[in-house]
Structure 1
Amino acid sequence: MTSGATASGRPGHACWSYDDPAIFEARAREFLLAGLAAGDRVCYVSPEPVPLVVERWSSTPRLREALHSGAAEIASAEHMYGDGILAHDAQLASYTTTIEAALADGYAGWRIAADATSLVSDPQRREAFARYEHLVDRFMRTRQMSAVCGYDRSRLGGPVIEELACLHPTSDPGASLFHLYAGDGGLVLDGELDSSNQDVFATALRRTDSGTPGDLLIDAADLRFVDYRSLVHLHRHAARRHGEVVLRTDLGPASRLVALLGLTRVRVEAAG
């Protein structure tokens, strides 16, 4: 599991999956309490009616004080994200306004923990939200924002969790064998790519694509294993972009496989 910290040293963007909503809420509370201690304004997005959560959280003095002062907020998913297909640009613009308001009020930044299960409950909404997961990850790299996204494994199933977890710099162990996320000048790829997740990897490449033709740099310094299928996916992805994928990795087999398979749109360079 990678650290997921942003360039500013903030916690960054993480994916937590759960089977028991109470466990996610407890972890979210600790994450947000740490944010309050660091001087952040914080927000929890709950699948439950907001008054019920406010009542529970008010039993903790620090959270009760924060809710009263405006340092903490509890919101519903519908209030935060709407009840239809997520509009990416509007959501990021809303976040910009929220972060700027927090900074103007003297906070160090803004931290959010959101149960996003209801936002990926059908394929159309899931496609839009998965794309947003990448966009908000890139967005957070240059802003004073940290986020945790929670997904109910018992409702979504392991394959859906894997599709979503892989788009975060950090996820719970076992949620995904690899991560593909925003990096300096391109993408970062870590973990392991084998026959079990090659289709998920192809989907992740599509969802993280910028839409701008040309070459793509992938920092794969922390990639531990790659099989030929995933390299073929990189070649095809580069062809769709009318460019080349530059894969920076110290995995020796990657160079040999690229040459053996004639993957002319993948160039392997040493990491570092």
Structure 2
Amino acid sequence: MELPERTVPVERLRLGDHACLEAEDGESAWAVFTAYTRTSLARREKVLLVLDPDDLQDDEVVALLDQDGTGAAEAARSRGQLSLKRTPQMYLPDGGFHQERTIEAYRAEVEAAHAEGWAGLRVAADMGWAAQAGVDGGSLLDYEASVAPLFADPLFTAICWYDRRRFGETLLDGMARTHPLRVTESPGTRTDYVEVLREAVSRQHPTGPARIALDLRDLCFMEAHCAWQLIGLAGSLPPGSEVTVRCGELLALLLRQLGADQAPQLVLEEAAR
């Protein structure tokens, strides 16, 4: 199905983009945040996740991001590339919301990421704090519109998550108009893709080294989550196994950026279409 104008998969966000996400369950939101984080880390950008205090604890967040088994999120946190903060730190440090103070706080985060040598700063923020603090819809819309100067310098990208269970349709419609972009929730085809891969591995090679060939030359785009699943499944095979992926230059680049070299069982063969 063709997506509405200005609505994009999370992997297509570029530095300088400001997007909103409307998801009414944590699982969908975390699927987006995971793809967003992994892609950003691979691009040598710093990632700041601003979460509700009642959401997952920091170690749980890192474990969720590292479900592929590579440990990339934990390593990123150790070197300062991944930062986890709670919404009161950024939005309500003294219990009240002040628009200019919040904008300055994010500007400081951008400057710090640049000073540390990262290619840019990517933020994902749970906006549920506004509903809990009683911030009125007009003030929130005004805030979202006022952050535009932060995105003028393409070192900053942000996703603002508005949970449909906490915010009314009128406000959500306003947010969709205020944000230049909207991010789609996880596409339904993802599960089918992953299950096909797992079935191919388990059915054809239940024990011992595996030999699998995938011809993806006609595929010009792959969602980051699916790419991570391919890398993870290849890396889980017994020593001596080989998963040969024939693909074009762009897909090969994506797989390498997301850690293909960490799975010796995965062999990439770049081929012209």
Cα deviation digits, residues 215-261 of structure 1 (max 9, x gap):
xxxxxxxxxxxxxxxxxxxxxxxxxxxxxxxxxxxxxxxxxxxxxxx
CA distance in 2, matches of 1:124, 1:46: 17
Match of 1:128 among 132, 139, 155: 139
2:39 aligned residue: 34
**How far does residue 122 in structure 1 lie from its aligned partner after superposition?**
6.3
Q: Using structure 2 for the length normalisation, give the TM-score.
A: 0.56
1:77-88, aligned counterparts within 5 Å?
A: 77-82=87-92, 84-88=95-99
**Deviations along 1:43-73, whole A, 9 cap, x unmatched?**
1111244662432423511111111221111
Distance 2:61 2:120 in 1: 25
Q: Which residue of 2 aligns with 1:245?
A: none
Three-state SS of the structure 1 residue aligned to 2:147 is: helix
Q: Please tell me the residue identity of whatever aligns with 1:76.
A: R
Task: Pick from 112, 125, 128 the counterpart of residue 114 of structure 1.
Answer: 125
What residue identity is the alignment partner of 1:109? G
Q: Which residue of 2 aligns with 1:230?
A: none
| Cross-structure match for 1:54 | 59
Residues 88-116 of structure 1 show CA distances to partners (whole Å, capped at 9, x for unaligned) of: 22222222221111111110111100010
Deviation at 1:3, TM superposition (A): 6.7
Shift of 1:169: 0.6
RMSD: 2.8
Amino acid at match of 2:74: R
Measure the CA separation in 1 of the matches of 2:59 and 2:90. Answer: 16
Task: Please tell me whether the aligned partners of residues 16 and 155 of structure 2 are also in contact (alpha carbons under 8 angstroms).
Answer: no
Contact 2:22–2:162 (CA<8 Å) still a contact in 1? yes
Confirm or deny: 8 A CA contact 2:7 2:184 kept in the other structure.
Answer: no
- Residue number among 9, 14, 18 corresponding to 2:19 in the alignment: 14
Q: Helix, strand or coil for the counterpart of 1:146?
A: strand
- Asked if the contact 1:13–1:146 (Cα under 8 Å) also holds between the matched residues in 2, the reply is yes
Give TM-score, length-normalised by structure 1: 0.56
Given candidates 30, 51, 57, the residue that maps to 1:25 is 30
- Residues 115 and 15 of structure 1: is their aligned pair in 2 closer, same or farther, counting only changes over 3 Å? same
Partner of 1:75: 85
In structure 2, do the counterparts of structure 1 residues 108 and 132 end up closer, same or farther at CA, with 3 Å as the change threshold? same
- For residues 65 and 140 of structure 1, the distance between their equivalents in structure 2, rounded to whole angstroms, comes to 28
Query: Is 2:165 aligned against 1:154?
Result: yes
Q: Which moved more, 1:82-91 or 1:138-147?
A: 82-91
The verdict on how the C-alpha distance between 1:88 and 1:40 changes in structure 2, with shifts beyond 3 A counting, is same
For 2:165, what is the secondary structure of its paired residue?
A: helix
Q: Tell me the amino acid that sits aligned with residue 97 of structure 1.
A: A
Gaps (5+ residues) in structure 2? 186-273
Percent identity, aligned pairs only, is 23
CA distance in 2, matches of 1:2, 1:55: 33
Aligned to 2:74: 64
Question: Contact (CA 8 Å) 1:44, 1:112: kept in 2 or not?
Answer: yes
Amino acid at match of 2:81: A
Aligned length: 172
Q: Which moved more, 1:124-133 or 1:60-69?
A: 124-133
Instruction: Say which SS state the counterpart of residue 173 (structure 2) adopts.
Output: helix
Secondary structure in 2 aligned to 1:58?
Answer: helix
Q: What amino acid is the match of 1:35?
A: S
Structure 1 runs (4+) deviating above 3 angstroms are 48-51, 120-126
Alignment of 1:85-234 (within 5 A): 85-121=96-132, 124-172=135-183
* TM superposition shift of 1:126: 3.3
Q: Is the 8 A contact 1:85 1:125 kept in 2?
A: no
1:167 Cα deviation after fit: 0.5
Change in CA separation of 1:117 and 1:70 when aligned onto 2, cut-off 3 Å = same
Assess if the C-alpha contact under 8 Å between 2:16 and 2:152 holds in 1: no
Which runs of 5 or more residues in structure 1 are unaligned?
Answer: 175-272
- Of Structure 1 and Structure 2, the greater strand share is in 1
